Amino acid sequence: MPDSPLRTRRQAAGLTQADLAASVGVSRQTVVAMERGDYAPSVYLALRTARALHTTVEEIFTLDQKDHA
């Protein structure tokens, strides 16, 4: 399975999952689930995450074609 855009951005920023979790106010397990695509964050959490990674929500959270059905 290829890395998620969220994982790629987090790693490029030099942050661990725990670092990102602390900066956006969630558990490390929540970051793990977001990176795996098992958890859809609230709009508020998505915005905080994008801000922490100096990017946009659209860059780190994408929809697969199957999600459009």
CA-to-CA distance for 51 and 48, rounded, in angstroms?
A: 5
User: Across all residues in the chain, what is the average pLDDT?
Assistant: 91
The fold of the 5-62 domain, in CATH, is 434 Repressor (Amino-terminal Domain) (1.10.260)
Encode pLDDT of 30-56 as tens digits.
999 999 999 999 999 999 999 999 999
- Kindly provide the b/e burial profile for residues 6-37, where b requires at least 16 CB atoms within 10 angstroms of the residue's own CB: bbebbeeeebebeebbebbebeeebbeebbee
Tokens 């915005």, residue located: 47
pTM for this entry: 0.87
CB 33 within 8 A of CB 54: no
**Cβ-contact 36, 2 below 8 angstroms:** no
